[in-house]
Structure 1
Amino acid sequence: MLKKLALSALALTMSIPAFAFDSYQHIRNATAKIEYAGQTFLVDPFFAKKESMAGFEGTFNSHLRMPLIDLPMSTNEILKGVDAVIVTHTHEDHWDEVAQKAIPKHLPIFVQNESDAKLIKNQGFKNVQVLHEKLTFNGVELHKTGGSHGTEQMYANPQLATLLGEAMGVVIKKDGHKTAYIVGDTVWTADVNKALHKYKPDFLVMNTGFARVNGLSDSIIMGVEDVLKATQIAPNAKIITVHMDTVNHTATSRDDMRKFVIGEKLTDKVIVPNDGEVIDFK
């Protein structure tokens, strides 16, 4: 009898998934794998091999080929167990050709608007859904949040406004689970403040590479000062900083961010993950 109980316990242990609790796994850049309430979401898949793409033209360090680093694991491993994909926008460092070829065409894909939905459907994907304000996927709520992929001055330039386009954030929540807010490619706006006050996230994922366009001093996404601001506006949230060390135009590195976090005494609030690192939502 004891032997049977031991074998049963072993079988139960072996059946537990790799992520037994809700978690965020940083893959690279803004790509992440989120285990949440029994569902696995892949966010902003960017699967290109190191230096296989030209740098973004007209941006900081455009002479550098990207991605600057390789993926920390195979695409097969990344895609293992994925139930749905969230694409905050279709810039190629969030939704690239390699990912488009690797991701099964039947997987649900959630996007920000009809334009992105049309593009991805034309790439052969069969189940593309627009996240208008809120939808529920297998019991998990996804809430769309707003932002701006650049400053007001940038969007006053029609050519630059077209290049920047739109990008959304997403809040993931369910009763009994920690609430996570994927801020997305945005500068700090009133929409970010609204989302923080409305959803009171326990975990905040911020794209903080401070990506630069030539000739402009401001960034098209957040940076270190925005992390400090987040700790002040959402003092109870754990902050995960990403979108660094991968594409040519990010002027803030993870080393820069870690030095800033230490200097501001924020190590108990801010996490700067390595590629492949898993953070439990606890």
Structure 2
Amino acid sequence: MRIHFIRHATFVLETGAGRVLVDPMLGRAGTAPAVPNTPNERPNPLVELPLGDGELSDLLGSTDAVLVTHTHNDHWDGRAQELVPKDAPVLCQPEDEDKISGAGFVGVSPVVSEFEWNGLRFARTGGRHGTGEIGARMAPVSGFVIRAEGSPSLYVAGDTIWCDEVEEALNAHRPDVIVVNAGAARFLEGDPITMTAEDVAKVCRAAPESRVIAVHMEAINHCLLTRRELAEELDRQGLAGRVEIPVDGEILETPS
């Protein structure tokens, strides 16, 4: 299994059963407005894609399917909707089927509980995109566990904080690899809506045998936790060797 991390929550998962593009946010730096009501008002994305136009075209041309965990703009933006072929298989949570189909995509498959496609098995998991009223407004969001014959299992936790649903997914699926969306994204009011450093530490302790990869940092204006800050806190808690924090464009290999 190979994970080609692109930027923010966007990556390509490659297994023997095919290549899946996860949560494509493909816009150029500064072309989208800042997330409002946040401490940092810079336009988004904060950084460019680590791919030239030709590389991006090659990546999209070699992608077999797209997985959209939810349709917030930093996971499924306008440029992705322009560039992803309209006949590409797109898997999503049921609540987003009409929105994605309404944008002209003809191969949309909602994952209600479990779904099998081309040798890849997808199981949908729950999550909480924040707490209280903010969490309710940000819902729904989903995570997905992906399995393929001969490859490690991968849990894409999605936009969630540490919560009962994440713990339940870890216990039920026991994934080999976990991708968590960190960044401690937040608004001026309320608690963080994606994982903090402490949340990532809780994932490590709940799944001591799993490989943990932390993404979703330094690309969107309301994600305030940096890679360095996350690494420093994990080191303080004795977990530095448990979490990989890739830079944009990095390729991570996992033996079968």
| TM-score, normalised with respect to structure 2 | 0.95
Q: What is the distance in 2 between the residues matched to 1:209 and 1:278? A: 20
Q: Which residue of 2 aligns with 1:178?
A: 152
Deviation at 1:191, TM superposition (A): 1.2
SS of the aligned residue for 2:13 comes to: strand
Aligned to 2:51: 73
The equivalent of 1:151 in structure 2 is 131
2:109 corresponds to 1:136: no
- State yes or no: 1:191 paired with 2:162: no
Q: What is the one-letter code of the residue matched to 1:258?
A: A
CA contact (8 A) 1:50 1:66 kept: yes
User: 1:1-282 maps to which residues of 2 (within 5 A)?
Assistant: 22-61=1-40, 63-74=41-52, 75-113=56-94, 115-155=95-135, 161-162=136-137, 164-216=138-190, 218-282=191-255
Deviation at 1:173, TM superposition (A): 1.1
**Which residues of structure 1 form unaligned runs of 5+?**
1-21, 156-160
Give aligned-pair identity as a percent: 35
Distance in 2 (CA, whole Å) between partners of 1:29 and 1:88 is 13
After superposition, the C-alpha distances for 1:170-206 in whole angstroms (9 at most, x for unaligned) are 0011343211100000111211111101111111100
Tell me how far 1:36 sits from its aligned partner.
1.7
> Does the 8 Å CA contact 2:4/2:251 hold for their aligned counterparts?
yes
- Inter-partner Cα distance in structure 1 for 2:157 and 2:211: 13
Does the CA-based 8 Å contact 1:182-1:204 persist in structure 2?
Answer: yes
Deviation of residue 150 (structure 1)?
A: 1.0
SS in 1 for 2:240: coil
Alpha-carbon displacement from aligned partner over 1:37-85 (angstroms, at most 9, x marks no partner): 2310000000111111110111231x21110000000321331310000
| Displacement of 1:153 | 4.8
Structure of larger gyration radius: 1
Q: What count of residue pairs does the alignment treat as equivalent?
A: 252
Off by >4 Å, runs of 4+ in structure 1: none
Q: Give unmatched runs, 5+ long, in structure 2.
A: none
> Residue 47 of structure 2 aligns to which amino acid in structure 1?
I
3-state SS in 1 of match to 2:241: coil
Question: SS of the residue aligned with 2:213?
Answer: strand
